[in-house]
């Protein structure tokens, strides 16, 4: 799995055991694996926040059929 993180620190550049080098400036959102996310939160707890995307509620289905009468 992966997580989206927003960098709220001054800047970051570092390797990831699950993929390429992670580069982020203040305000950037990056997608990293669970292991890298855990490492970033452990090593830099005040410089990262998880981005939680809310799933919008589905629109109610409306019928365009006219009633029989």
What is residue 7's DSSP assignment? E
CB 30 within 8 A of CB 5: yes
Q: Predicted confidence band at 67 (pLDDT cuts at 50, 70, 90)?
A: low
In whole angstroms, give the CA distance from residue 64 to residue 50: 42
Question: Which pTM was predicted?
Answer: 0.71
Q: Predicted confidence band at 10 (pLDDT cuts at 50, 70, 90)?
A: very high
16-62: pLDDT as tens digits: 666 789 999 999 999 999 989 999 999 999 999 999 987 777 787 77
Tokens of 35: 């292991």
The pLDDT assigned to 57 comes to 76
> What's the full length of the chain, in residues?
69
The pLDDT assigned to 55 comes to 73
């Amino acid at each position: 799995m992966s997580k989206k993180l927003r960098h709220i620190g001054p800047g970051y550049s570092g390797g990831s055991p699950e993929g390429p080098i992670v580069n982020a400036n203040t305000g950037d959102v990056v997608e990293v694996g669970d292991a890298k996310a855990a490492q970033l939160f452990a090593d830099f707890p005040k410089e990262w926040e998880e981005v939680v995307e809310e799933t919008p509620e589905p629109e109610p289905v409306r019928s365009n059929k006219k009633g029989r009468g």
